[in-house]
Amino acid sequence: MNLVHRWYCKSNMWARQLHQYMPRMVEGVELGDSVLEIGSGPGVSTDWLRTRVPHLTTIEIDHTLAQSLSRRLEGENVTVVEGDATAMTFPDASFSSAFSFTMLHHVPSPELQDKLLAETCRVLRPGGTFSGSDSTPSFQWNLFHIFDTRVPVDPETFPQRLEEAGFADASVFQFPGGFSFRARKPN
């Protein structure tokens, strides 16, 4: 992420916005005892999630962000793993639920995004839910992402991509500037 993006993703302004819609992302989802967050960044969503679950594991590919979050949450109910979500080292069926908040567009290709989806399905327990959100392009979004990796996810085709990755009951809800999604790993 560029410097402006990094600053914004740590800001109180972003935290307020994110925390406003996160309750809808988890509404009706059985979180379970071991939750996975994919792409935590500086941990704004992590802070919200960790107060609602017994244990949270977050995987973050950026070395600096992962180390900073790990130091900040040391001794809490969070395990921070520096790693690539397209090739997770977790055993099959490790997590009761999984979340991804506004990070899929930072995965550098649709093929790698699909690998991330398949890996998420693999590490979820049968019946587990994968839920989250992502943004959709606009003039402002493009300006904000100058020099960033930005590969937009098409909300129209996303349910099919989730199902091709192994999920069932995939759904998408579009809103101005983005979309939320939910899918379940079959039993």
**Which pLDDT score is estimated for 140?**
73
The 10s digit of each residue's pLDDT in 61-71 is 999 999 999 99
Mean pLDDT across 119-143: 88
* Residue closest to 76 by CA, chosen among 97, 102, 49, 41: 49
Residues 6+ positions from 94 with CB-CB distance below 8 Å: 34, 36, 123, 124, 125
Domain boundaries, the chain: 3-10+34-184
Residue 5 has pLDDT above 70, yes or no: no
Whole-structure pTM value: 0.89
Distance of CA 81 to the CA centre of its chain: 14
Q: Write out the E strands in 40-148.
A: 56-60, 78-82, 95-101, 124-135
Show the CA angle centred on residue 160, arms to residues 134 and 23, nearest 5°.
Answer: 35
**Domain 3-10+34-184 falls in which CATH fold?**
Rossmann fold (3.40.50)
Average pLDDT over residues 103-107: 93
pLDDT score for 28: 86
Residue 83, amino acid? G
Average per-residue pLDDT in the chain? 90
